[in-house]
Structure 1
């Protein structure tokens, strides 16, 4: 599924990219990159050819996936010159990455110098550069920054759907409202864009009351535009630290955690100690891995619903 539309007579045509999902919210520290990376990894592990694009100038995605950090210059050059996005292939089986970095911010000054509105111009650039490489992929996930609104809104202008991460605090819930406004502005240029839903992130496994209240507030904010996904991703700081120290996704970390626990127990029985720099902090991430699997299934189900909606319209 794809649709084409023009921003203005003077602006290049923009094409929506099929099965492309933006993970975005107008606030940092809400699990956006963790969600994007782990959903991409789960989809790839299930056999779907997946591409994840880091449009955040911070470029933190490399921590989750374990590749060398880049400065964003390759992405900057590709967009500026209208070339295909730079891909690191086979980060995992079926999983490719477009690395981000700080140089991406320099693009805004160039667009202003050309007298172009950055959001609209960036949308046309990402459309051309992503469109050149999109065909082989079953799923494209775009991680966007909490700042630099021209990047996030430009990405929405080419996307199929938006997933909004949300933590259970007033600041995040206010950010959800601001993100919904960006979504509506992007729909002016991309009428087939849909709100896939919101996912509750960082809620304790036993915090049922907090989860219920957060779900109610999100549902009130979003109305009938999109669901709040049934799956919520629990808060587990030790798993987050272990994951990024080792460049492993949660479902990859799970067997390593089990082995680490066995080693600790064996060392304890023999009166020895495990070296701190080798030991993992988490003791069980199995349920967290299952939550990411469940969320990925929900997102795919929602994507199929969106495709049916758009094709019916």
Structure 2
């Protein structure tokens, strides 16, 4: 129980033990890519998974190939459930064993709606996603929340509803100092006020030169300068490829699905004779990126199990 104040919702934290929020204070660092692909890989490995798009841009719908389809309500169902404190109503079966709460423009209006409904009650506002999520979380082996950048009220909603935080970063100083520093402040605030169970699962590096040990050492040094010497970083580095990112989003495929599409690449002679178009060719780099994401997903689950076993 969080508080004796009758106005503050009581959250059953045990129902949220397998919830991971993916967050960074800066955009363009791989949050949605990480959220969508970890959720998709877990579902492909027979877990029942829910992914929640708490982002006004709704880019998770692009990654899952449901943008502008009949199930894309631009975040209205998710926003309504959170404001009303009702159970979430996910879109079922976006992939086998993968459900999604669709994000979009309506999510961007949430902070104002919650502030109006729960005036001068910031703790109540922050807990509203947790209220809605705990009513359905028991149906899932894993819940992944994709949070927005540069929006503290929405970040607080995500952090107040989660057990674990995963933070993607790039190697540039802005991603680490501004982005990581920003989410670290929200992490400390939420943990102190409404969610003492919140733990940092780890920081994951997205980098073009993932093989560079010098880059890894430099990023680790910068991360530790922001978070402290005990900052956990994942060993797996996810290679960044603009070609893979664009092709996956354009086709509405997760990276491991895009890798499978590469088996259907047209023969080189069909490209030379004009019988096939280069737009049909899937980047061979998709295999490397898919391998990185699979390795990271395994590492995340292993670390969760270790921390749970240690009583974190």
Do 1:72 and 1:101's aligned partners in 2 also have CA atoms closer than 8 Å? yes
Task: Confirm whether residue 134 of structure 1 aligns to residue 157 of structure 2.
Answer: no
Q: In structure 2, do the counterparts of structure 1 residues 92 and 106 end up closer, same or farther at CA, with 3 Å as the change threshold? A: same
1:190 matched residue in structure 2: 195
Query: For 1:289-304, what aligned pairs fall within 5 Å after superposition?
Result: 289-304=290-305
Written as runs of structure 1 = structure 2, the 5 A alignment for 1:166-185 is 166-174=169-177, 175-185=179-189
1:109 aligns to what? 112
Partner of 1:39: 38
Instruction: Please tell me whether the aligned partners of residues 241 and 285 of structure 2 are also in contact (alpha carbons under 8 angstroms).
Output: no
User: Cα distance, 1:300 vs. partner?
Assistant: 0.5
The CA distance in 2 between the partners of 1:82 and 1:194, in whole Å, is 24
- Kept in 2, the 8 Å contact 1:258–1:283? The answer is no
C-alpha separation in 1, matches of 2:75 and 2:119: 22
Does 2:102 correspond to 1:99? Answer: yes
TM-score (norm 2): 0.90
In 1, Cα distance between equivalents of 2:172 and 2:82: 36
1:65-99 superposed Cα distances (whole Å, 9 cap, x missing partner): 11134321111211222221121111111111111
CA separation of 1:226/1:50 partners in 2, compared to 1, >3 Å: closer, same or farther? Answer: farther
Matched, 1:81 2:80: no
Greater Cα offset, 152-161 or 245-254: 152-161
The residue number in structure 2 matching 1:6 is 3
CA distance in 1, matches of 2:149, 2:8: 26
* C-alpha contact 1:57 1:105 (8 A) present in aligned 2: yes
1:224-235, aligned counterparts within 5 Å?
Answer: 224-235=229-240
Unpaired segments of 5 or more residues in structure 1? none
Over 3 Å counting, the alpha-carbon distance change for 1:296 and 1:179 in structure 2 is same
Deviation at 1:310, TM superposition (A): 3.5
Aligned residues: 304
TM-score normalized by the length of structure 1: 0.90
Q: Is the 8 A contact 1:28 1:146 kept in 2?
A: yes
Provide structure 2 residue ranges, at least 5 long, that are not aligned to the other structure: none
Between the aligned partners of 1:118 and 1:301, the Cα distance in structure 2 is 37
